[in-house]
Amino acid sequence: MIQLTEVHKYFGHNHVLKDISLTVQTGEKLVVIGPSGSGKSTLIRCMNLLEKPTSGKVVVDGVEITAHNAPVAKVRQQVAMVFQQFNLYPHKTVLENLTLAPIIVGGVAKEEAEESGMKYLDRVGLRAKANAFPSQLSGGQQQRVAIARALNMRPKIMLFDEPTSALDPEMIQEVLDVMVDLAHEGITMVVVTHEMGFARQVADRVIFMDEGEIVEQGTPEHFFINPNHDRTKLFLSKILR
Amino acid sequence: MVGPFAGFKWLALFANWKVFAEGFLTTLLASSLSLCLALVLGIIFGVLGSTHFKFPKAINRVYVEFIQNTPLVIQVFFLFNGLPHMGIMLPVLAVGVLGVGIYHGAYIAEVIRAGIQSIHRGQMEAALSQGFNYVGAMRYIILPQAARVVLPPLANQAVNLIKNTSVMALIAGGDLMYRADSWSSETLHYGPTYVVVGLLYLSLCFPLANLVRYLEKRAEVSA
Amino acid sequence: MKKVSLIGLVLLLMLSLVLVGCSSTPATTQSKEPADLKAIKDRGVLKVGVKIDVPKFGYKDPKTNQIDGFEIDLARAIAKKILGDEKKIDLQAVTAKTRGPLLDSGEIDLVAATFTITEERKQTYNFSDPYFVDYVGLLVKKDAKIAGLKDLNGKKIGVAQSATSKKAIQEAADKLGIKVEFLEFATYPEIKAALDSGRVQCFSVDKSILFGYLDDSTVILPDNFTSQNYGLASKKGNDALAKLINDTVNEMKSNGELDKLITKWGLK
Per-residue pLDDT tens over the stretch B72-123: 999 999 999 999 989 888 999 999 999 999 999 999 999 999 999 999 999 9
> What's the mean pLDDT in C37-48?
92
Task: Express each pLDDT in C237-264 by its tens digit.
Answer: 899 999 999 999 999 999 999 999 999 9
What is residue C29's predicted lDDT score, i.e. its pLDDT? 42
Q: Which CATH number fits domain B2-222: 3.30.10.20, 1.10.3720.10, 3.30.470.20, 1.10.150.130?
A: 1.10.3720.10
Q: Which residues of chain B are at the A interface, by a Cβ-Cβ cutoff of 8 Å? A: 120, 122-123, 125-133, 136, 140-141, 144-145, 148
pLDDT digits (tens, 9 = 90+) for B180-197: 888 887 777 888 889 999
Same fold, C35-131+231-264 and C134-227: yes
3-state secondary structure at position C136: strand
Among the listed residues C19, C114, C236, C128, the one whose alpha carbon sits nearest the alpha carbon of residue B9 = C236
CATH number of C35-131+231-264: 3.40.190.10
| Physical contact, A and B (3 or more Cβ pairs within 8 A) | yes
Whether the Cβ atoms of residue B109 and residue B60 lie closer than 8 Å to each other: yes
Q: Which residue has the higher pLDDT, A193 or C6?
A: A193
pLDDT number for residue A148: 95
Those of residues 51-90 in B touching chain C at CB distance below 8 A are: 72-73, 77, 80-85, 89
Mark yes or no for CB contact A153/B141 under 8 Å: no
**pLDDT above 80 (res C191):** yes
Instruction: Report the residue of A65, A89, A93 to disrupt the B interface, i.e. the one with the largest count of B CBs within 10 Å.
Output: A89
Domain boundaries, chain C: 35-131+231-264, 134-227
Q: CB of B10 within 8 A of CB of B74?
A: no
Mean pLDDT over C215-234 rounds to 89
pLDDT exceeds cutoff 90 at A23: yes
**For residues B26-40, average pLDDT:** 95
Segment C144-153, tens digit of pLDDT? 888 888 899 9
**Taking each helix axis from N to C terminus, what angle separates C257-264 and C70-83, rounded to the nearest 10 degrees?**
150
DSSP E strands in C7-155: the ranges are 46-50, 53-54, 58-60, 67-68, 89-93, 110-112, 125-127, 132-136, 139-141
Give the integer Cα–Cα distance in Å for C134 and C121.
18
User: Once rounded to an integer, what is the mean pLDDT over residues C4-14?
Assistant: 52
Query: Is residue B130 pLDDT above 60, yes or no?
Result: yes
β pairing state of A55-60 and A63-64: antiparallel
Give the pLDDT of residue C6: 52
> Which whole number is the average pLDDT over C38-54?
91
Would the CA dihedral through B141, B146, B147, B148 be positive or negative? positive
Mean of the per-residue pLDDT values of chain A? 92
Average pLDDT over residues C199-216: 89
The answer to whether residue B28 scores a pLDDT higher than 50 is: yes
pLDDT computed for residue B2 by the predictor: 67
Cβ-Cβ contacts under 8 Å, B128 against chain A: 50, 73, 76
Q: Which of B48, B215, B60 is nearest to B148 (CA)?
A: B215
Q: Which residues of C touch B187 (CB under 8 A)?
A: 120
Residues of B in Cβ contact (< 8 Å) with C199: 80-81, 84, 89, 171
The reported pLDDT for the residue numbered C30 is: 47
Would you state the pLDDT for residue C97?
A: 79
Task: Kindly indicate whether the domain formed by C134-227 is annotated with CATH number 3.30.360.10.
Answer: no
**pLDDT for C106-143, tens place per residue?**
899 999 998 989 888 888 899 999 999 989 999 999 98
| CB contacts, 8 Å: A88 with chain B | 126
Kindly report the nearest CA distance between residue B125 and chain A, in angstroms.
7
Q: Measured between CB atoms, which of B132, B144, B145 is closest to A105?
A: B132
Q: How confident is the model at residue C56 (pLDDT cuts 50, 70, 90)?
A: confident
What is the identity of the amino acid at C43? R
A133 chain-B contacts, CB cut-off 8 A? none
- Confidence label for C19 from pLDDT (cuts 50, 70 and 90): very low
Report the residue of chain B nearest A49, measured CA to CA. Answer: B129
Check pLDDT > 50 for residue C22.
Answer: no
Confidence band of C12 (pLDDT split at 50, 70, 90): low
Q: Does residue C84 surpass a pLDDT of 60?
A: yes
Query: Where are the domains positioned within chain B?
Result: 2-222
At A22 the pLDDT is: 94
Q: What is residue B191's predicted lDDT score, i.e. its pLDDT? A: 86
pLDDT at C23: 42
Question: Residue C28: which pLDDT band, with cuts at 50, 70 and 90?
Answer: very low
For residues C62 and A103, which has the higher predicted lDDT (pLDDT)?
Answer: A103
